[in-house]
Amino acid sequence: MGGSTMTSCFLLLPLLLLVMFGEARQAFSEIEEKNKQIELNDHIEATFKPKPIIKMVTKMANDHNSHDTHSSSSHMDHINPLLRVFFTINDLKQGKKLPIYFPKRDPSKSPPLLPKEQADPIPFSLKKLPQILSYFSYPSNSPQAQAVKETLEQCELKPIKGETKFCATSMESMVNFVRTAFGPKTHYEVLTTSHLTKSNVHLQNYTFIEAPKEIAAPRLVACHTMPYAYAVYYCHYQEGDNNVLKIQLEGENGDRVEALAICHMDTSQWSPSHPSFQVLKIQPGTIPVCHFFPADDFVWIPVPTSNSKLY
């Protein structure tokens, strides 16, 4: 009798271990899935902020007929720190000091661009917003849902005169868009802002410690990160003169930044209510407007085939 009981125990033990192992794997899988969702939510919340550079090249239908160049408070008495990225061509000189906002986001927490085979099956349209929110389990009244909605709205806005735009959801789609701008046989270089020192300071006064360096580029494609459940870039190029610059900056706390900036020489087609005009106290078409790029935005430019940084 005792032997039979012992035998039964030995037979049940492997089954019990299998059940426990299966439950443990399931629990681990659930935890892993929750962690992924938390990371996605953190990415949305970290990037769910106004994108003044994006709004520079997009506008709602009623903006075109608007002639109001002032905000509700005269000339924005209290300027949003996020808007401290604009300056004029007259500021481009060594020794110039400007307050500049540089977001300090951790690249390791930002999801990469999805492969085309993963991105294409996921709906990406304002008409399919309910399906998208359901796909990512975002409540309709959540900050994540609002971020997704606003990104889709920006991506579907009609481009301004002379602009060609595209929201890239995969690296392949981004590269294909760049090829339409430069031609299929052209080689490309990617430029971005580089933080040479580590700091948690977002807004401070920076000094131009060298004369800005202009980078020759007959055409450029600028790509800006958008708040979304996965990596989405708003990419666009415009006809007309746009100067690409590298500017060496030093902050009041000693921060060093090799900053990427663009100067738009013709702003006559921009929305009169765009914040750059309010910050700089100017009007469309009067003077070239420049802006800095954060480190997670970048610019594609065509380069000679002898250049080593080719794509």
**Dihedral sign for Cα atoms in the order 92, 97, 101, 102:** positive
What is the rounded CA–CA span in Å between residue 123 and residue 114?
A: 14
pLDDT, mean of residues 284-293: 93
> Between 245 and 8, where is the model more confident?
245
> Between 5 and 220, where is the model more confident?
220
What integer pLDDT is reported at residue 299 of this predicted model? 95
| Residue 56 pLDDT > 70 | no
**Dihedral sign for Cα atoms in the order 68, 73, 75, 78:** negative
pLDDT above 70 coverage of the chain, percent: 72
What integer pLDDT is reported at residue 120 of this predicted model? 94
Strand partners, 291: 86, 262
CB-CB contact of 36 with 109 (8 Å): no
pLDDT band at 204 (very low <50, low <70, confident <90, very high): very high
**Dihedral sign for Cα atoms in the order 86, 87, 88, 94:** negative
CB-CB contact of 190 with 300 (8 Å): yes
What integer pLDDT is reported at residue 80 of this predicted model? 82
What integer pLDDT is reported at residue 113 of this predicted model? 84
Q: What is the pTM of this model?
A: 0.74
